[in-house]
Structure 1
């Protein structure tokens, strides 16, 4: 087993960094939601234009799809990557079932983010700044977690596949950039982002 698989320092550090960034974005959205609850006519700090704003997202039913503000999900959910990353740095070794559950959680997070992206672009017609911060860390964290699941043998794969997954981890940044590019193109085609900036 390679060092990256036995003690995945880079992956662990990324989980912590992504978790902190995601948690901070969720915290900022929660604060903005409080502002709206106390004053529905408040101007939010993340409202820059009709296109780039948080208020439309926070006020919509999509912003509270489970009956409470979505940022609360982020406040709780982003603690998991932080804790797992810190545990890995401390030398923790997790069982297969743990990695599968963690991977399931990240898959759920990605699915939710994809749904929120489509709702934001195609239904609400806005780009929420703090939401985009959340998207920007959820996508690479999912990719990195998926590759890690293969390289630690969470899925029943051959040693060669595990070794290939080890090498594939270095391609996660490129996959992330490509995913961002797809979102940017869709947003441009649907919302004419560049045309609305000037």
Structure 2
């Protein structure tokens, strides 16, 4: 039987995490809603001019029409509409000083791990297979990475993965901004190297 370590009594969730979850969740909802509307517009009119189609490389139309755009049998943005409310609710609950059980943080972290893994997979599918950088998808990348990193570090520092990883969490807490930036560099650096995005914009 697996025993989930108890959270350290002195562990406190910083307000910074709550703000990142609220802002990230709301922006993720915005991007998901916009992509859903674009998907509907394309269903009504396959030749519709989408506001996110900046040029042949920076556009979302190709992503929506690709098989990667409906991995689970329905448009990916619907998944965003279903899941992005979760961090918003958790963020507001934290501001209200709600306390969650250790199992809740584990489940929430697992959801974030799925989200960030899916984001990196979609990003590289878009860049290397479809040959585009989707603007609204990029917004999802931008908000998902810091939410995942901050939730994971918070849980490590709370001792939910044992004392050894608690010390690791304490050690990397000050590096969170750089870890997030590294995630951005991996995605958008790859986009620039593969698609030469800047040359298509200027």
Name the CA distance, whole Å, in 2 between partners of 1:178 and 1:116: 17
**Aligned to 1:181, which of 173, 176, 185?**
185
- State how 1:33-182 maps to structure 2 within 5 Å: 33-157=39-163, 162=166, 165-166=169-170, 168-182=172-186
The 3-state SS of whatever aligns with 1:6 is coil
Q: Which runs of 5+ in 1 are unaligned?
A: none
Check whether the contact 1:97–1:154 (CA below 8 A) recurs between aligned residues. Answer: no
Name the CA distance, whole Å, in 2 between partners of 1:2 and 1:147: 17
Evaluate the alpha carbon distance shift between residue 164 and residue 118 of structure 1 in structure 2; reply closer, same or farther with a 3 A threshold: closer
Deviation at 1:196, TM superposition (A): 2.6
Q: Deviations over 1:105-133 (max 9, x none)?
A: 00000111011011100100000000000
Name the CA distance, whole Å, in 2 between partners of 1:126 and 1:7: 38
RMSD value, Cα: 1.7
Name the CA distance, whole Å, in 2 between partners of 1:22 and 1:147: 21
Deviation at 1:164, TM superposition (A): 5.6
Q: What is the TM-score when the length of structure 1 is the normalising length?
A: 0.92
Check whether the contact 1:7–1:89 (CA below 8 A) recurs between aligned residues. Answer: no
Name the CA distance, whole Å, in 2 between partners of 1:163 and 1:10: 20
Q: Deviations over 1:150-190 (max 9, x none)?
A: 112221225xx536634633321111112212222211221
Counterpart of 1:194?
Answer: 198
**Aligned to 2:35, which of 20, 29, 35?**
29
Name the CA distance, whole Å, in 2 between partners of 1:166 and 1:17: 24
Name the CA distance, whole Å, in 2 between partners of 1:99 and 1:120: 31
Name the CA distance, whole Å, in 2 between partners of 1:83 and 1:57: 29
**Aligned to 2:26, which of 15, 20, 27?**
20
Check whether the contact 1:96–1:153 (CA below 8 A) recurs between aligned residues. Answer: no
Q: Which runs of 5+ in 2 are unaligned?
A: 1-7
